Amino acid sequence: MKNLLLILSLLLTSTLLVGQGAMSDNGLAVTKHSLNIKGKTLNYTATTGFMDMRDESGKLRANVFFIAYTKDNVKSLGQRPITYTFNGGPGSSSVWLHMGGLGPKKVKLAPDGNVLPPPYQYEDNPETWLDETDLVFIDPMMTGYTRPGEGVDKKEFLGYQQDLALVGDFIRLYTTRYERWNSPKFLAGESYGTTRAAGLSGYLQDRHGMYINGVMLISAVLDFSTIRDYHANDLSPLLRFPTFAATSWYHKKADPKYTDLSAFLEEVEEFTLNEYALALLKGDLMTEKERGDIIDKLHAYTGLSKTYLDQTNLRLTVGRYNKELLRSEKETVGRLDSRFKGYDYDEAGERYEFDPSYNGVIYGPFTSVLNDHLRTNLQFKSDLPYEILTGRARPWDYSNVQNRFLNVAETLRNAISKNPYLKVWISNGYYDLATPYFATEYVVNHMFLKGDLKKNITMTYYEAGHMVYIHEPALVQMKKDLVEFINSATPKR
């Protein structure tokens, strides 16, 4: 009896400590916060820790790390939206969306997104999505603090379908434990996270009967054939070309007669869909004059030399373009955000040596502030390395998908067809060479949604890169677009 009373006492003490912000082993830290948004105080609760993912026999398969922000004093959870969010990689934690644009705190950067000197700072985020929807940031396997259970091989979770099962089952379990089945539910993903979100729209419906209200795709990749560079694939250089042109325009390498980006890209897109597409399709069937005319246009739009364009067989690729554009200035441009520039050791190299928009801008600040935020504000203590963007989530298994290139657009089309109330919002950065906006347009235009279902997909565009939100004007506009989307996808009760 004494032993039983001692155990109950310890459990009660542990529960009280968690409520005050302390943490038990493999448990949760619950903390209270407030934020001022346009003169209004938003009080919210942060829940940080692990979800124990067990099979039906009770065996622990994985500890999934998450950070949830929920608005306080909500009268009805059935009217309060909840958004499950994650980044991509695969192998990325949720830090970018969490501390970049969606969460209540954000990394302090220059207005254009450039890095400030260390030590890095963070600040309240007046453009947080939290006033519109509760937020659950999920770290997939081997990212953040998420790890497999004892004796479980991480390979069981590292693959397209395996990942859907882990994240999808987490969403079901969180929805159940926190009584959110009757809430309007959304998914938000960035980069490979958009691949995951599209896949989950089908997995959650078909496996768990969970029909969601909306999917937010930030810098989307739905069909990998549109972004893979290899000799036999003309889709990638074709669909990336408007972003190459936008980058050249930004760095003042395009013909100076083009002074307005929107008008410039309208002309470039028309050229891409017609003359350029036909030229790549013809290959060696082009006449010498036809080839020369195409090279003249490519030169006007990119500023690259006609000799170089001829030598590339009219096909530009990421890495080589990033090195060539500013070669005369001895600089390179970024892949995630081509507005940013860097320097290589070998100025005569074929490709850039690193992505200046990742290594030179976002990696250091986001790593630093996330680690401080976890311990200082969220009161979650762990000596594990928080894996920001890791190679530990490798190798990634695509062997069980339908063909050489993963294409989840069909999954999304099928989900919308089964649930005609499912809305999709896709946000695109003009300077994103990783997931170019024109490739996303191509994929959406080949989903062949029927009738009014085509209206379920909305696309918005920003003069920013892959991480749209690090550009202050884009962050502000993105929040306005989010409010409009949430209102359109949430039923009025």
Domains of the chain, first to last:
17-225+363-489 (3.40.50.1820), 229-354 (no CATH)
Q: Which two tokens stand for residue 117?
A: 């000197």
CA distance 187 to 203: 12
* Secondary structure (H, E, C), 362-424: HHHHHHHHHHHHHHHCCCCCCCCCCECECHHHCCCECCCCCCCCCECHHHHHHHHHHCCCCEE
Residue 81 pLDDT class (50, 70, 90 cuts):
very high
pLDDT-above-70 percentage for the chain: 94
Q: What angle do CA 155, 135, 143 make, to 5 degrees?
A: 25
Instruction: Identify whether 90 is preceded by a cis peptide bond (ω within 30 of 0).
Output: yes
Q: Which residues of 459-484 are buried (b: 16+ CB within 10 A; e: fewer)?
A: ebbbbbbbbbbbbeebbebbbebbee
pTM above 0.85, yes or no: yes
Q: What is the pLDDT of residues 155-213, one digit of tens each?
A: 999 999 999 999 999 999 999 999 999 999 999 999 999 999 999 999 999 999 999 99
pLDDT of res. 491: 83
3-state secondary structure of 433: coil
Does residue 191 contact residue 435 with C-beta atoms inside 8 Å? yes
Q: Which residue in this structure is represented by tokens 């894996």? A: 387
Q: What angle do CA 98, 223, 332 make, to 5 degrees?
A: 65
Closest C-alpha to 415, from 250, 200, 112? 200
Closest C-alpha to 201, from 466, 418, 456? 418
pLDDT of res. 398: 86
Q: What is the pLDDT of residues 10-35, one digit of tens each?
A: 333 333 233 334 444 447 999 999 99
CA distance 376 to 363: 20
Q: What is the pLDDT of residues 142-155, one digit of tens each?
A: 999 999 999 999 99
Q: What is the pLDDT of residues 268-293, one digit of tens each?
A: 999 999 999 999 999 999 999 999 99
Q: Determine the average pLDDT of the residues in 53-82.
A: 95
28-37/40-54 β-pairing: antiparallel
Helices (H), ranges, 25-112: 95-97
CB atoms within 10 A of CB 405: 15
Q: Which residues of 333-351 are buried (b: 16+ CB within 10 A; e: fewer)?
A: bbbbbbbbbbebeeeeeee
